């Protein structure tokens, strides 16, 4: 039975979310793989949000036809909105970026800007393709997504070496391109796993996005046969094996090098960056919904995932969360504490708290900070990590609301004139020299250093819908609509308010185009949110009070 036949209004008794702790306490053999279908049901019918009330209100307001379930509409044709003229232009621009391999569409190139040197922007990037893929899925065109998933999976099998050093089997490429041999007329795929990338860093996020996209495809089409293929099952296991192995780690978070995700240059995003931890958590949950327990490898992987999810959500909710109360606590921390009774477990020195945070932190609101490691808290706010935390339910419902409160009360800083800052604030002066290594592309309020990235609009919109705050997304989309098309879809904007087209920004940047389309389609039909959002797992109950978590 395909998911398309599912009545989205099914009864609450079917809504039991996947019970993590039940699994943990059960012997291995009881782990049954029958879940993905039930999970999909529950996630869909719960209302795709943490706050059913607000989601329903929103839907009643904006979607008079009722929820369309998984039967995705062909966008604007059937909606109650007048389609914005930019939508048609965006679709045309997006279609021009499609890449074909052996006559099949397999992805979209990063940018179609002939005025700039192509560098690697003529390649299909895994992370960049995600919003394109969601746009195609929402528009009822899943083939390109399926082809992409299979081709990149095949590339995962290639030998990956940087100089004489071999990378793990599970690593997924950052990008790939189609090579045409003029004489033989043959086409081949060439992938980059970091061996050509600036800084030679492997993309940790690619594998996570691949798993997240596989679930989005499965949810959107109801086609379980793709994720159930042995090669897809193996692909997921290989990706996660890279992250779930035991070693010297004392934290459940994933240790990373700088530049291993969207921010792919040195920006002090090393150690345990929120951008990676949130994607890691989401990929673990997506894999759990798709992995089959019909082999020992499958069962073992599921068990490891379940254990890691518990530890990871506890760690993140306890130590990465910052709000006014928590900031005040850190400000008054004692240091040099030893043994299990320590309150300041990581020995953070209060003097290392940057001045800007005291003004930035509203009385109401909070967020997951950029990084936590021994004696180091990176207080910067990162858009992708916080939105993914909401979508994956890494945040508690209260934390999700607090993140939205923060965005609302710090609108000028985080959204300004163009949604959305990749991180806040920018690094300047001596700190810029030390942290970026004098990177001329990452000067203050530019590119990865506090620049504004239109692609992030889709993540913001999804988070807004999930938390029942569609009006925030509407405001952000209105802002984007005043500029994006006129400015030819820039990759990023510069300045404290994001008012200037980025110094070295590409035009016709594909994910700026696709991000806008996805945001529009989700707002028009919020049931699309289900393909990129996961319900809260009731068994991963958070520590109720920050103080208690900190002390235990």
Per CB under 6 A, residues contacting ligand GLC are 110, 121, 125, 127-128, 262, 264
Are the C-beta atoms of residues 235 and 297 closer than 8 Å to each other? no
Least gap, CB of 511 to ligand GLC (angstroms) = 7
CB of 220 or CB of 512, closer to ligand GLC: 512
Token match 């395909």: residue?
2
Q: Which two tokens stand for residue 223?
A: 């086609």
Q: 3-class SS at 78?
A: helix
CB of 125 or CB of 148, closer to ligand GLC: 125
CB of 125 or CB of 319, closer to ligand GLC: 125
* CA distances in angstroms from 441 to 11, 449, 503, 531, listed in the order given: 53, 9, 8, 35
CB of 112 or CB of 372, closer to ligand GLC: 112
Q: How many CB atoms lie within 10 A of CB 347?
A: 15
Angle of helix 204-221 relative to helix 126-138, nearest 10 degrees, comes to 10
Q: With CA atoms as reference, report the closest residue to 191 among 166, 207, 174, 169.
A: 174
Least gap, CB of 386 to ligand GLC (angstroms) = 17
Are the C-beta atoms of residues 524 and 474 closer than 8 Å to each other? no
* Residue 316: DSSP 8-state: I
CB of 99 or CB of 262, closer to ligand GLC: 262
Least gap, CB of 487 to ligand GLC (angstroms) = 17
d(CA 265, CA 250): 27
Least gap, CB of 113 to ligand GLC (angstroms) = 11
d(CA 255, CA 245): 12
d(CA 200, CA 192): 10
CB of 127 or CB of 444, closer to ligand GLC: 127
Least gap, CB of 110 to ligand GLC (angstroms) = 4
CB of 127 or CB of 317, closer to ligand GLC: 127
Least gap, CB of 121 to ligand GLC (angstroms) = 6
Residues 6+ apart with CB under 8 A from 19: 538, 539
Q: Which two tokens stand for residue 504?
A: 């070295």
CB of 118 or CB of 353, closer to ligand GLC: 118
Least gap, CB of 546 to ligand GLC (angstroms) = 33
Least gap, CB of 208 to ligand GLC (angstroms) = 14
Query: ∠ CA(312), CA(316), CA(321), 5° rounding?
Result: 170
Least gap, CB of 372 to ligand GLC (angstroms) = 23
d(CA 156, CA 187): 18
Least gap, CB of 262 to ligand GLC (angstroms) = 4
Q: For residue 178, what are the β-bridge partners?
A: 189
CB of 262 or CB of 401, closer to ligand GLC: 262
d(CA 315, CA 68): 37
Q: 3-class SS at 430?
A: helix
Provide the sign of the torsion angle of the four alpha carbons 180, 167, 128, 4, taken in this order. Answer: positive
CB of 470 or CB of 515, closer to ligand GLC: 515
Using Cβ positions, the residue closest to ligand GLC within the complex turns out to be: 110
CB of 110 or CB of 283, closer to ligand GLC: 110
Q: How many CB atoms lie within 10 A of CB 57?
A: 13
Are the C-beta atoms of residues 62 and 524 closer than 8 Å to each other? yes
Burial class (CB in 10 A: 0-12, 13-18, 19+), 239: buried
* CA distances in angstroms from 363 to 326, 405, 406, 414, 467, listed in the order given: 11, 10, 9, 17, 20
* Residue 306: DSSP 8-state: H
Distance of alpha carbon 524 from the chain centroid: 21
Distance of alpha carbon 464 from the chain centroid: 14
Q: Which two tokens stand for residue 245?
A: 């192995």
CB of 262 or CB of 390, closer to ligand GLC: 262
Least gap, CB of 486 to ligand GLC (angstroms) = 21
Least gap, CB of 159 to ligand GLC (angstroms) = 23
CB of 266 or CB of 410, closer to ligand GLC: 266
Least gap, CB of 445 to ligand GLC (angstroms) = 16
């Amino acid at each position: 039975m395909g998911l398309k036949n599912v009545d989205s209004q099914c009864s609450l008794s079917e809504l039991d979310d996947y019970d993590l702790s039940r699994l943990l306490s059960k012997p291995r053999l009881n782990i049954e793989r029958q879940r993905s279908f039930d999970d999909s049901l529950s996630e869909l019918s719960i209302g795709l949000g943490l706050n059913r009330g607000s989601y329903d209100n929103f839907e009643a307001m904006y979607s008079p036809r009722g929820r369309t379930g998984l039967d995705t509409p062909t966008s604007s044709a059937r909606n109650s909105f007048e389609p914005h003229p930019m939508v048609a232009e965006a679709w045309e621009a997006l279609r021009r970026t499609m890449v074909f391999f052996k006559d099949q569409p397999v992805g979209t190139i990063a940018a179609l800007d002939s005025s700039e040197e192509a560098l690697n922007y003529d390649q299909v990037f895994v992370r960049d393709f995600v919003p394109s893929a969601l746009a195609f899925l929402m528009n009822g065109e899943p083939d390109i997504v399926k082809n992409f998933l299979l081709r990149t999976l095949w590339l995962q099998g290639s030998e990956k070496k940087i100089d004489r050093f071999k990378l793990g089997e599970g690593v997924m490429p950052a990008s790939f391109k189609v090579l045409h041999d003029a004489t033989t007329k043959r086409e081949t795929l060439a992938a980059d796993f970091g061996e050509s990338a600036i800084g030679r860093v492997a993309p940790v996020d690619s594998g996570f996005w691949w798993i997240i996209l596989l679930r989005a495809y499965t949810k959107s089409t109801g086609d379980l046969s793709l994720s159930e293929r042995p090669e897809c099952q193996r692909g997921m296991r290989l990706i996660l094996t890279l992250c779930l192995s035991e070693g010297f780690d004392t934290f459940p978070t994933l240790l990373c090098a700088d530049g291993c995700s969207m921010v792919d240059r040195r920006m002090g995003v090393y150690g345990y960056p929120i951008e990676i931890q949130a994607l890691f958590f989401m990929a673990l949950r997506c894999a759990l919904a798709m992995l089959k327990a019909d082999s020992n490898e499958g069962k073992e992987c599921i068990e490891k995932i379940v254990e890691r999810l518990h530890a990871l959500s506890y760690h993140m909710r306890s130590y990465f969360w910052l709000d006014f109360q928590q900031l005040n606590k850190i400000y008054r921390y004692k240091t040099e504490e030893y043994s299990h009774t320590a309150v300041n477990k990581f020995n953070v020195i209060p003097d290392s708290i940057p001045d800007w945070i005291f003004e930035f932190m509203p009385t109401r609101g909070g967020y997951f900070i950029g990084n936590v490691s021994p004696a180091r808290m990176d207080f910067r706010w990162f858009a992708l990590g916080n939105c993914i935390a909401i979508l994956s339910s890494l945040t508690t419902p209260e934390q999700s609301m607090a993140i939205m409160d923060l965005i609302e009360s710090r609108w000028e800083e985080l959204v300004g004139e163009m949604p959305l800052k990749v991180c806040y604030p920018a690094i300047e002066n001596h700190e810029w020299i030390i942290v970026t290594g004098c990177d001329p592309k990452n000067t203050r309020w530019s590119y990865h250093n506090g620049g504004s990235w239109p692609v992030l609009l889709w993540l913001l919109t999804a988070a807004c819908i999930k938390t029942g705050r569609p009006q925030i997304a509407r405001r952000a989309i209105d802002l984007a609509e005043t500029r994006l098309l006129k400015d030819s879809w820039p990759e990023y904007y510069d300045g404290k308010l994001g008012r200037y087209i980025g110094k070295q920004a590409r035009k016709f940047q594909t994910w700026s185009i696709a991000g806008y389309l996805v945001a529009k389609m989700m707002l028009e039909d919020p049931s699309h949110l289900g393909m990129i959002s996961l319900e809260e797992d009731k068994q991963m109950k958070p520590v109720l009070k920050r103080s208690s978590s900190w002390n235990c």
